[in-house]
A and B are shown apart, each in its own frame.
Chain A
Amino acid sequence: MSEAARTPFVESLREAAAAAALPGRGIGWLDAARCENLDAFLAAGLPDTRNEAWKYTALRALAQRPFALGDAQAASRPVEAAALALAGIDGPALVFVNGAFRADLSRLDDLPAGLSLEPLSQVLAGEPEPLRFALARLYRDGGEAFARLNAALAGDGAVLRVAAGAKIAQPVRLLIVGAPAEGELAWHARHVVELGEGAELELIEQHLATGEQRHLGTQVSDFVLREGAQLRHVLLQRAAAGATLVRRSGYRLEARAQATLHALELGGALVRHDLAAELAGDGARFVTRGVFMPTGRQHIDTQLAIRHQALGTASESIWRGVADQRGRGVFRGAIVVAPGADGSDASLSNKNLLLSGQAEIDTKPELEIYADEVKAAHGATVGQLDERALFYLRSRGLPQTQARALLTAAFCRAVFDDLPDAALREHLDTLLIGQLPS
């Protein structure tokens, strides 16, 4: 083991892991995968900025912080149901507080036909075999330290399945709540979502906090969309101001499957989201729309990687970043068109606004093209608000700050225009405006 890996962060988790009693213990393949991933994590520790995937996100400060594993009192942490409500949206919900499933807050009764929604801990106690492919995975790359950690220590999460042909009308909500505890703790959530052939689902994933804390949360989600399935995924991230949140969402789209992601990243101190989509079947289509708004001393890093592997696949990504105060926004949008993926159509746009002299934006749109019958384009900009537009608004009597807020909101809002759910769109709007300097 390298000396560099022996940090307070790694050591605290080494001790915690040794004492942990995770759900699913005794399942041979799961124990083996947890053990191997843990060993890999302990040996390599956290990546440094020489690792290309972490070039703009330094983990030095995190490496010096010890964490307790999980929250023994998670079941009794007070959470107001009202805080979890989303106006105009009603339906099945799965709630996790500090990484642990909360039956009292979740809504799992009257699930529509074709939908199965269970916490991972229950599935592991019942029939874990179907999850073997997802959970037995080994993360071999040094940049995947958090995925290793998650695979080694995750005890709960959502297991969501939609039967072939089932079209779920009501959106399903997944709520990840951080609650203050006695110390700083690390929780790990593992979600598995599978949509059968021709199935349809809208999933709203929310990250919330009931109070100030500096927990570390890791989350790994796998989405598998069988032939012709359609997923609408909405992600609202409002973690606690001191929280560290590292997520990885993998999407696999089979023939003619379609996934759309709308993401709004507002909270957290150190936030990272790795999004990896594999367009594995002919005619698959992946659309992402996102806004990240680091302010204060926030660091928000989004890493989007889309791989076109089949004929006639399409991807379209539009992301906006707004960095204020000492905030730092990092974006990477990588598109790979594999050999033979003819007819691929890929486009990516990332526009950013810098609102302060201390803010920073680092963006890296990438194209890797190995087929010639393709259309691929990307664009990225970093700039500021249009002086003429500002002047126009001010000449009509709007104060400077209000004019700026209005233009900034408009800059971001364009991204969510195509969200079909009006109530949700309005909610995103309110959150967005709330984040702007008033």
Chain B
Amino acid sequence: MSSERSDVSATLRDNAEVAEALGRRYEAGFVTDIETTSLPPGLSEDIIRQLSAIKQEPEWMTAWRLAAYRHWLTMPQPDWAKLRLSPIDYQAISYYAAPKAGPKSLDEVDPKLLETYDKLGVPLHERAKLAGVAVDAVFDSVSVGTTFRKELAEAGVIFCSMSEAIREHGELVQKYLGSVVPAGDNFFAALNSAVFSDGSFVFVPKGVRCPMELSTYFRINAMNTGQFERTLIVCEDDAYVSYLEGCTAPMRDENQLHAAVVELVCLERAQIKYSTVQNWYPGDENGVGGIYNFVTKRGDCRGADSKISWTQVETGSAITWKYPSCVLRGDRSVGEFYSVALTHHRQQADTGTKMIHIGRDTRSKIVSKGISAGRGQNSYRGLVKVEKGADNARNYTQCDSLLIGKQCGAHTFPYMEVKNPGAIVEHEATTSKISDDQLFYCRARGIGEEDAVSMIVDGFCKQVFKELPMEFAVEAKKLLEVSLEGAVG
């Protein structure tokens, strides 16, 4: 019986279709031929002043950037993550690239750009109305348009690009920027603070439930550029917002750098739901090219009874270094983290979360699903910290890894630090593979191998997918299928 089974899987492995699917290419890997203005490569105080000048920023912003830059110069690049990467030459990167014709409104946006977003399936124009999602599209270093502004303004919600926010809502930005992730927080956050070019700003005032899902779409297009966006979301008392983020990049042989910072502020009884589908170019099957993705995401539950929920589906990037965190400061605040991270070919991911329990009766939940295929290396790294005053804090963590193939790796590094005797912290982790038994069962019922694998993976990730808004869940599922094609072993 068992020899029969291995025969079956052997034939499966030889399947020509599988081999063909393996060769399938990254679908968002095209380049848009558009005129851009960019700063010359290199990083210095002059470059930062120029960048700040191009963006017509107030004095305080320039000073903030320069302070971050000076601090960054004193910091070493962190090496504690389980990642192998070639050294990054920070002087070879251009820190600003933007389409030449700056649009005044969405109607004036270069049709080529609209085409790009159309190809990616991001609704920027008429289709936007049908989709009912407000979108801020960021192309290389600048925001090219934000939809549904009028409707949002009526509700009192501010949703605009970060550059615009700095110019027009300076006080708000000054009040909250860097209050969750300080400029010198870590190496990549400091770099971002110095050179961030755009991003989204969301402000939901007291008692407002944002009438629609907000979304930002990030696209790296130009060569030799890095993307450094900064997102700030503030929810005042009793406010609610659901925010989606998606990203793609063209296929290139070089490793492009993406170092973003996302800050969330939740005041009393406010809720933020932040979902990410990350599909940066992962590099080819030999590990050539791909995005280096170093992201600092942190939410601060400042008010009592607030809630922050992170959901992420990470299928892209050559390197992923990302730990969306929650600081549970307010009493009874809640933090959640749901993650699916996939590494195929030579992708490497070191991702997870931090839950810092400070307030009383705070709760957190972590569900992390790691899938490794090919020669991918996938690590979960998480911290659950319960401070002395966090009476009755509660955490539950579940980390599951799925291995597909002989040459990949799946790793788990959870840290638990508990200083309160009233806390309950639980962590569980398992590692398994798609077994021949499971495949055989599906195959015996007439389900093709690819479908069988995708069914099993889908079941493995279900707990996370159900946290995503519906359209995103469908996209995430498809993305996973495409990313996993040819991975069966």
Contacts and interface: CB of A to CB of B under 8 A. Distances in A.
Interface of A: 52, 56, 339, 352, 354-357, 359-384
A354 to B, nearest CB: 4
Contact of A362 (B416, B424, B489): B416
Given A354-B423, A357-B388, A382-B425, A367 B412 contact: yes
A383 B429 contact: no
A375 B433 CA distance: 9
A351 to B, nearest CB: 9
A360 B388 CA distance: 9
Q: Which of A365, A375, A384 is the most central at the interface, judged by chain B CB atoms within 10 Å of its CB?
A: A365
Interface string B429-469: 11111000000000000000000000000000000000000
Contacts of A368: 409, 411
B467 to A, nearest CB: 23
B418 A366 contact: no
Contact of A364 (B401, B407, B416): B416
Interface residues of B, number: 36
A352 B416 CA distance: 11
Contact of B403 (A355, A357, A369): A369
Interface string B370-392: 00000000000000001010000
B405 interface: yes
Q: Which of B413, B415, B418, B427 is the most central at the interface, judged by chain A CB atoms within 10 Å of its CB?
A: B418
A372 B425 contact: no
Interface in B69-96: 80
Interface of B: 80, 386, 388, 401, 403-433, 489
B430 A362 contact: no
A362 B411 contact: no
A380 B427 contact: yes
Nearest to B426: A381
Contacts of B408: 370, 372
A303 to B, nearest CB: 14
Nearest to B413: A366
Nearest to A384: B421
B429 A365 contact: yes
6 contacts: A354-B420, A367-B411, A372-B408, A373-B433, A374-B433, A376-B430
B420 A367 contact: no
Contacts of A355: 421
Contacts of B386: 382
A369 B431 contact: yes
A438 B416 CA distance: 29
A379 B413 CA distance: 12
B406 A371 contact: yes
A378 B425 contact: no
A360 B404 contact: no
A160 B431 CA distance: 39
A369 B411 contact: yes
B391 to A, nearest CB: 9
Nearest to B408: A372
Nearest to A363: B416
B419 A360 contact: yes
B424 A381 contact: yes
A373 B433 CA distance: 7
A366 B412 contact: yes
A363 B395 CA distance: 14
B421 A357 contact: yes
A383 B426 CA distance: 8
Contacts of A52: 80
Contacts of B412: 365-367, 378
Contacts of A370: 408-409
B415 A362 contact: yes
Contact of B421 (A56, A359, A362, A366): A359
Contacts of A365: 412, 414, 427, 429
A365 B428 CA distance: 9
Contacts of B423: 354, 382-383
Question: What are the 10 tightest A-B residue pairs by CB atom distance, in nearest-first order?
Answer: A354-B421, A372-B403, A382-B418, A376-B431, A367-B412, A383-B424, A372-B433, A382-B425, A368-B411, A377-B430
A377 B428 CA distance: 8
Contacts of B433: 372-374
A380 B416 contact: yes
Contacts of B414: 364-366, 380
Contacts of B411: 366-369
Q: Which of A339, A352, A361 is the most central at the interface, judged by chain B CB atoms within 10 Å of its CB?
A: A361
B431 A377 contact: yes
B429 A369 contact: no
Nearest to A357: B421
A207 B320 CA distance: 47
Contacts of B416: 361-364, 380, 382
Contacts of A56: 417
B413 A360 contact: no
A357 B431 contact: no
A359 B403 CA distance: 38
A414 B290 CA distance: 51
A372 B404 contact: yes
Contacts of A376: 430-431
A372 B429 contact: no
A212 B411 CA distance: 44
Contact of A378 (B406, B409, B418, B429): B429
Nearest to A366: B413
Contacts of B432: 375
A59 B418 CA distance: 21
B388 A379 contact: no
A361 B418 contact: yes
Contact of B425 (A356, A364, A375, A381): A381
